[in-house]
């Protein structure tokens, strides 16, 4: 019995041993399988549980003006949240009051009591993601991080910081439509320079590796070094650093842009117009130095940059197109500048349609037709040359590239419309109406570019908004002036119309500009606006386009005001003031234009107010004016202009009469008072604010005059 039990135990032991050996082999086999066969699979699972990749947004490039002033940049903003669950009861109860007081001190729109109640309610419910504030600046964040509770950090104070980036325009609304902005509707930059250069500005987003540590995802710097070394076997081809976007250097001059917008805004308000635009261009480069677009906001009764009319609105240009008609006629030898055109009483009927001038000009030269903007004159010139062959006129327009879009660097250019004789709307009246700027359409910039070509002696350039693409301050790409048409007409024709455009300012419809210290050439336009019922004498569009200095053009400019509604609609009163403001600003800062004044103007020496001999003589000597009688030694003198030199005169004091001391220095006031035998009592310092004896009052020797001074 005992032997049988012993044998049975041995068997069980062997069986158990065999099972253990078998299990060991199974485990070993599994280990071998995991280590050598399935190693990559399970390592990948492990890595994916311990690591993850997150997108890293590239920093969007800046947009600069021509002098590197920031027009658009990306700035960090922060959305703040609060995890109430990590804050202890003791800390919360002790510091919630002071936290609320501090937060309300940072934000005037936040009530201390309401903020405190919201946090108490969230704390009692142990909420983990309570919104504290959106769009917090970095400066505000620094203050918030120092507040009680929040200063304890994320894991004890519960402050959660979500960093974002926001596009900011340091100059506010200045050139907003041209710079462009983000469309939340389309979730993209779609207009202006932001839209046109979006791919270059936005850069390439990176992919960052994070590792789980203590339940939190932490940035793993080891795998994001310059070599982009990935975790072995994981994310091999995907990890990358973000490549920040490049910077755009525009042609915009912020000072000129400011003048253009301010002046345009003033005239739009004054004339209660629907909208207006102004564009300034460099003649020799095609660089756009300023471009303003303002439309009326009926709800707020103000104006804002809501649409880029300068490039996006094609319209009938009206009288500014008469230049093209004149050039085609001169180029085809239809007329000469001194030829006489009979305009009669300013009315002309053709095929049942009557055209009118604002005045009856009678017999005038071809040059005067353009100067006075005679509709009848241009009508007759066009009919004389092209009535029997209107296609020649159309071909002339085409030869000057007025039928083609400019192909701008920004999106949204409206197409020009120049009908041909094959157009279904062509009629006997099409030629004469086109000759004065109707039955065709151009954008303001297309019209300006045409005049710029005339200023540039016939060479038409492509308008440019961007002159370079930059990375870390170094140019990566530059945009040189691009020629659209080497010569839009013969140089002879160009010189003739240049003279005519100068005549428009000197003798014609833009005579308000003739008193400028630098010569200006250009053309006014006052066009009727068509609507569903046709043209009327209520809705007008005023424009002026020209260039300066006329004898050596540097800048061209166009100003358009649509539908002024206060009764004044002629270009000379509505848009010329804007043109003048822009041109005068340039004249005030561009020495090369001021050469005209130095050559053509005799500067008369200025008179001076009464002052001490030392001061008056010193100033005139500094200004290099000749003093005719330097022997005058009287302490108080005045200087008066005598041609190009100065003559000094003694200060004349009326005996027994009190002089006006106001705004004098103490030294000057004491001198005058003592000259009359009076005694001065000075109170305070600075300049004279008041005197105890009023001016012109009689005085006696020995009287005391109390003189109060102020800063």
DSSP assignment string, 175-239: THHHH--EETTTTEE-SHHHHHTHHHHH-B-EEEEEEEETTEEEE-GGGSSTT-PPPTTSSTTT-
Do residue 588 and residue 625 come from a single domain? no
Q: Is residue 639 part of a domain?
A: yes
The contacts found for 610-615 with CB under 8 angstroms, 24 or more apart, are 610/636, 610/637, 610/638, 610/651, 611/636, 611/637, 611/638, 611/668, 612/636, 612/637, 612/667, 612/668, 612/671, 613/637
Q: Is residue 115 part of a domain?
A: no
DSSP assignment letter at 243: B
Do residue 477 and residue 544 come from a single domain? yes
Do residue 406 and residue 549 come from a single domain? yes
Q: Is residue 212 part of a domain?
A: no
pLDDT given at position 229: 46
pLDDT given at position 226: 45
Which residue has 């005996």 as its token pair? Answer: 655
The domain tally of the chain equals: 4
- Spatial separation of the C-alpha atoms in residues 203 and 199, rounded to whole Å: 7
Phi, psi dihedral angles at 64 (to 5 degrees): -115, 155
- How is residue 571 written in tokens? 């270009």
pTM of the predicted structure, to 2 decimals: 0.73
Helix axes 491-506, 444-455, angle to 10 degrees: 110
pLDDT given at position 598: 47
Do residue 540 and residue 636 come from a single domain? no
Phi, psi dihedral angles at 22 (to 5 degrees): -60, -45
Q: What's the start-to-end Cα distance of the chain, in Å?
A: 129
Positions in the chain whose pLDDT score sits under 50: 221-230, 233, 597-602
- Spatial separation of the C-alpha atoms in residues 558 and 434, rounded to whole Å: 20
Q: Is residue 187 part of a domain?
A: no
Sign of CA dihedral 166, 169, 173, 175: negative
Q: Is residue 577 part of a domain?
A: yes
pLDDT given at position 31: 75
| Close Cβ partners of 221 (under 8 Å, ≥ 6 residues apart) | none
Strand partners, 356: 347
Q: Which of 550, 562, 542, 492 is nearest to 522 (CA)?
A: 550
Do residue 490 and residue 377 come from a single domain? yes
In Å, how far are 162, 168, 174, 414, 485 from 410, measured between CA atoms? 34, 20, 17, 12, 21
pLDDT given at position 590: 79
Do residue 562 and residue 643 come from a single domain? no
pLDDT given at position 243: 87
In Å, how far are 586, 638, 664 from 674, measured between CA atoms? 50, 19, 14
In Å, how far are 562, 671, 674, 693 from 704, measured between CA atoms? 67, 14, 10, 9
According to DSSP H, which parts of 242-374 are helical?
254-271, 309-312, 322-331, 366-371
Do residue 635 and residue 689 come from a single domain? no
- How is residue 521 written in tokens? 């050439």
Do residue 571 and residue 675 come from a single domain? no
Q: Is residue 694 part of a domain?
A: yes
Residue 249 and residue 62 in contact, taking contact as beta carbons nearer than 8 Å: no
Which residue has 């009190």 as its token pair? Answer: 658
Q: Is residue 124 part of a domain?
A: no
- Spatial separation of the C-alpha atoms in residues 230 and 234, rounded to whole Å: 7
| Close Cβ partners of 17 (under 8 Å, ≥ 6 residues apart) | none
Do residue 555 and residue 627 come from a single domain? no
Do residue 573 and residue 684 come from a single domain? no
DSSP assignment letter at 315: B
Q: Which of 301, 294, 257, 302 is nearest to 276 (CA)?
A: 294
| Close Cβ partners of 160 (under 8 Å, ≥ 6 residues apart) | 80, 81, 82, 83, 129, 154
Q: Which of 682, 683, 707 is nearest to 693 (CA)?
A: 707
Q: Is residue 94 part of a domain?
A: no
Do residue 404 and residue 542 come from a single domain? yes
- Spatial separation of the C-alpha atoms in residues 409 and 197, rounded to whole Å: 8
Residue 276 and residue 95 in contact, taking contact as beta carbons nearer than 8 Å: no
- Spatial separation of the C-alpha atoms in residues 409 and 200, rounded to whole Å: 13
Domain of 629 in residue numbering reads as: 611-650
Do residue 383 and residue 463 come from a single domain? yes
């Amino acid at each position: 019995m005992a032997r049988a039990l012993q044998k049975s135990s041995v068997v069980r032991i062997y069986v158990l041993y065999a099972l253990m050996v078998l299990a060991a082999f199974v485990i070993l086999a599994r280990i071998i399988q995991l280590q050598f066969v399935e190693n990559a699979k399970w390592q990948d699972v492990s890595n994916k549980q311990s690591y993850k990749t997150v997108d890293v947004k590239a920093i969007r490039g800046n947009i600069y003006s021509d002098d590197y002033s920031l027009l658009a940049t990306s700035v960090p903003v922060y959305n703040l949240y609060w995890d109430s669950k990590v804050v202890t009861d003791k800390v919360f109860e002790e510091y919630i009051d002071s936290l609320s007081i501090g937060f309300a001190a940072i934000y005037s729109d936040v009530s201390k009591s309401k903020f405190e109640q919201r946090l108490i309610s969230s704390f009692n419910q142990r909420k983990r993601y309570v919104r504290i504030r959106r769009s917090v600046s970095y400066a505000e964040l620094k203050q918030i991080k120092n507040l009680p509770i929040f200063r304890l950090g994320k894991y004890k104070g519960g402050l959660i910081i979500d960093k974002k980036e926001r596009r900011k325009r340091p100059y506010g609304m200045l050139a907003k439509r041209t710079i462009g902005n983000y469309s939340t509707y389309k979730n993209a930059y779609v207009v202006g320079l932001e839209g046109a250069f979006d791919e270059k500005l936005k850069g390439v987003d990176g992919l960052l590796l994070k590792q789980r540590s203590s339940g939190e995802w932490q940035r793993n710097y080891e795998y994001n070094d310059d070599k982009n070394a990935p975790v072995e076997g994981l994310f091999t081809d995907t990890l990358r650093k973000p490549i920040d976007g490049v910077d755009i250097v525009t042609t915009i001059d912020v000072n000129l842009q400011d003048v253009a917008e301010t002046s345009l805004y003033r005239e739009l308000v004054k004339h209660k117009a629907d909208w207006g635009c102004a564009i300034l261009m460099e003649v020799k480069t095609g660089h756009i130095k300023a471009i303003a677009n303002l439309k009326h906001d009926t709800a707020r009764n103000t104006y804002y940059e809501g649409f880029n009319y300068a490039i996006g609105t094609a319209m009938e240009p009206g009288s500014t197109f008469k230049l093209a008609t004149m050039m085609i006629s001169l180029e085809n030898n239809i007329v000469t500048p001194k030829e006489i055109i009979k305009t009669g009483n300013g009315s002309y009927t053709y095929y049942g349609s009557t055209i009118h001038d604002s005045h009856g000009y009678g017999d005038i030269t071809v040059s005067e037709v353009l100067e006075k903007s005679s509709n009848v004159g241009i009508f007759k010139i066009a009919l004389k040359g092209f009535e029997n062959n209107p296609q020649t006129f159309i071909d002339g327009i085409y030869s000057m590239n007025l039928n083609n879009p400019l192909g701008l660097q920004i999106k949204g250019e409206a197409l020009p419309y120049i009908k041909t004789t094959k157009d279904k709307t062509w009629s006997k009246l099409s030629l004469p109406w086109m000759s004065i700027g109707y039955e065709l359409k151009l954008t303001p910039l297309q019209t300006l570019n045409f005049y710029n070509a005339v200023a540039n002696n016939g060479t038409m350039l492509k308008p440019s908004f961007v002159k370079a693409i930059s990375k870390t301050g170094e140019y990566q790409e530059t945009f040189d002036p691009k020629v659209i048409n080497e010569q839009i007409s013969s140089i002879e024709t160009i010189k003739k119309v240049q003279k005519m455009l100068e005549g428009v300012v000197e003798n014609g419809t833009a005579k308000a500009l003739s008193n400028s210290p630098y010569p200006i050439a250009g053309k006014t336009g006052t066009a009727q606006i068509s609507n569903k019922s046709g043209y009327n004498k209520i809705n007008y569009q005023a424009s002026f386009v020209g260039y300066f200095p006329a004898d050596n053009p540097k800048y061209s400019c166009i100003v358009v005001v649509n539908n002024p509604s206060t009764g004044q609609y002629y270009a000379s009163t509505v848009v010329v003031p804007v043109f003048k403001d822009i041109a005068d600003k340039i004249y005030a800062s561009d020495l090369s234009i001021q050469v005209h004044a130095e050559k053509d103007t005799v500067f008369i020496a200025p008179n001076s107010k009464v002052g001490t001999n030392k001061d008056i003589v010193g100033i005139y000597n500094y200004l290099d004016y000749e003093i005719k009688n330097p022997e005058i030694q009287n302490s108080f003198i005045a200087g008066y202009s005598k041609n190009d030199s100065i003559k000094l005169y003694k200060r004349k004091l009326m005996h027994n009469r009190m002089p006006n001391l106001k705004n004098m220095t103490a030294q000057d006031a004491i001198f005058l008072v003592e000259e009359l035998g009076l005694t001065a009592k000075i109170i305070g310092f600075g300049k004279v604010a008041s005197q105890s004896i009023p001016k012109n009052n009689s005085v006696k020797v020995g009287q005391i005059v109390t003189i109060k001074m102020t800063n």
